[in-house]
Structure 1
């Protein structure tokens, strides 16, 4: 496990602002299926979830900061994998309740651009080929907070997948 410098469970300002946004799934199911939490899950909740997800009772959830979920119970989290770097510089992942998983964004700023492009964590991780549906309100939020250049969701997802090509295989190795 990577040692983290802070075990603060409150959101960074940009993520707290996203938490006030109401994502709409829409009548046709074409929107974003995502519900933000008000704060990160506790260390105990995260450990319980990771153990249940992997079937591995030896793991702890210290490498994850869970911040929201979709309607099926799949969770979005920061994955604390870059040693010595702040939470906002860690990649964002999505782990579905049925075992599907994927990378969403390389950091908090890129997550803001992904959301602004109309993708929630599930859509980015598992359905990145769908049409972008830019959201003006989330776009304005990203412009206020992002420290990375504006790019489309597909480009951002491709970048983080290239950086962590063994993400899925590494998770498989944790499973029992």
Structure 2
């Protein structure tokens, strides 16, 4: 697969990341967006440290934010030839958590609009979670992905169904 080293945010992601994310003293979204993708070098350093495998690089990921513990949210460039916005969004937690949290950027926008971030989406399935719609993030989702509207639970479920082997794929890379 040929990957580009395009580190520019898609317009929809830039718009969403410009909206202040409400942590709400632990009851909101635990997500700290970046202003740009992590550099290729920093992504490789992180992925090698995360997996314990110095033979890897981070070319398959575009990291765009983190939770409070340092877990990363990223696009996983697994769909050959498609732009970043059409790649799945994953969470790789500081304690080894892994999950595909959205099938693409449109779904990710609706995840955020429903008050759910990557960390919350990667929580053990079935964990208690309450919808907390955010008007500003909903406006971004309506602008950039009007046909993808769905609640966070549906976004998470569809992502898990499409990529059921993500955790095994990543764990096979670990040393």
If the TM-score is normalised by the length of the shorter chain, which range does it land in? over 0.9
Per-residue CA distance 1:139-170 (angstroms, 9 max, x = gap): 11100011642111111111111111111011
In the alignment, which of 52, 59, 62 is matched to residue 62 of structure 1? 59
Name the CA distance, whole Å, in 2 between partners of 1:106 and 1:48: 26
Q: Structure 1: where are the runs of 5+ without partners?
A: none
Q: Is the counterpart of residue 101 in structure 1 residue 104 in structure 2?
A: no
What is the rounded CA distance, in whole Å, between the counterparts of 2:142 and 2:124 in structure 1?
Answer: 24
Work out the CA distance in 2 between the residues paired with 1:36 and 1:49: 17
Structure 1 residue 92, shift from structure 2 partner? 0.2
Aligned twin of 1:35: 32
Q: Tell me the TM-score normalised to structure 2 length.
A: 0.95
C-alpha contact 1:92 1:111 (8 A) present in aligned 2: yes
Which structure has more RCO (C-alpha within 8 Å, separation ≥ 6)? 2
Cα deviation, residue 127, structure 1: 5.3
Gaps (5+ residues) in structure 2? none
- Residue in 1 that maps onto 2:8: 10
C-alpha RMSD of the superposition: 1.2
Provide Cα deviations, 1:65-88, integer angstroms capped at 9, x if missing partner.
000001100000000001111111
Residue 145 to residue 127, structure 1, CA distance change in 2 (3 Å): farther
